[in-house]
Amino acid sequence: MTDTLSTLQNHRSIRKFTDEPVPQEHLEAYIRAGQAAATSSFIQATTVIQVNAQDQREQMAEWAGNQAYIVSAPVFLVFCADMRRHELVCDMHQAEMLSGFTEQFMTATIDVALFAQNVVVAAEADGLGICYIGGLRNNPDKVSTALELPELVYPVFGLCIGHPDQNPEVKPRLPLSVVLKQDRYEDGADADTIRDYDAAVWHYYETRTGGNKSMTWSEQISGMLKKEARPHMLPFLQQRGFLRR
């Protein structure tokens, strides 16, 4: 197995970090790696904001559901989908920008995810740990105000980076047969395969939490999907200039 494959397949979310700093020049190299990711039609629609101020970190930790590692991580980044710069370049060429299209939202958001994953792989290849913070979308309006985000920019997620101070096991993923199909979508055997996978996930949680969490993957997902999923996001995004048509 190559070093790259090993790095990718051994990913864990790290929520406890040492005090050792991450040199800024290293972080900037990771961001350049993010810029090297594929970008739809060369749109380059990602802006990353490095949040250093303690009071801002504390606010964002609270807004994200009291995730304390936002404060304790040596590096905390907010990844934003950014169509504002495209409005600027249209102005430079006296061209009217047609915005608000669902496709623009999708390409910008996908760009952010690809960019961020390159950053993560680069950091993990250097022995660092990371944790994505989707909880920022609990209060995207407050995050946007704190970061002074203009219209056509929205916070997609945060990212903690630092030297790990814990060594959790790798969380088992779905069996390959569930996610890799040949020629057509065929899920006739998936339910039985998922039942077997459930046992592995239950064992993982039992082992990791010392019995404090006993749950299968299907129980976890079915419980999550019977609840509303941040319904405030649609009006927020429309207010930001996205998803209007």
Distance CA 64, CA 138 (A): 6
Give the Cβ contact number of residue 11 at 10 Å: 16
Laid out side by side, the sheet with 129-133 consists of 46-50, 75-82, 153-162, 129-133
124: which residues sit within 8 A by CB, 6+ positions away? Answer: 7, 11, 130
Region 63-73: mean pLDDT is: 97
Query: Residue 197 corresponds to which tokens in the numbers above?
Result: 């996978």
Is residue 209 scored above 90 in pLDDT?
A: no
Distance CA 7, CA 2 (A): 9
What is the per-residue pLDDT for 129? 98
What is the per-residue pLDDT for 210? 72
| Total-model pTM | 0.95
User: Residues 149, 85: contact at Cβ < 8 Å?
Assistant: no
Intra-chain end-to-end CA distance of the chain, in Å:
46
Distance CA 3, CA 1 (A): 7
In tens, the pLDDT along 86-138 reads 999 999 999 999 999 999 999 999 999 999 999 999 999 999 999 999 999 99
In tens, the pLDDT along 124-157 reads 999 999 999 999 999 999 999 999 999 999 999 9
- Domain coordinates of the chain in residue numbers? 3-168+228-240, 176-214
What is the per-residue pLDDT for 139? 98
Region 148-177: mean pLDDT is: 96
Q: Which residue has the higher pLDDT, 1 or 170?
A: 170
DSSP label at 158?
E
Distance CA 76, CA 115 (A): 16
Give the Cβ contact number of residue 115 at 10 Å: 26
What is each CA distance from 138 to 61, 109, 150, in whole angstroms? 11, 17, 19
Is residue 1 scored above 70 in pLDDT?
A: no
What is the per-residue pLDDT for 2? 77
What integer best gives the mean pLDDT of the chain?
96
What is the per-residue pLDDT for 111? 98
What is each CA distance from 9 to 3, 123, 125, 170, 179, in whole angstroms? 10, 14, 12, 8, 16
What is the per-residue pLDDT for 207? 85
Looking at CATH, the fold of the domain delimited by 3-168+228-240 is given as NADH Oxidase (3.40.109)
Is residue 176 scored above 70 in pLDDT?
A: yes
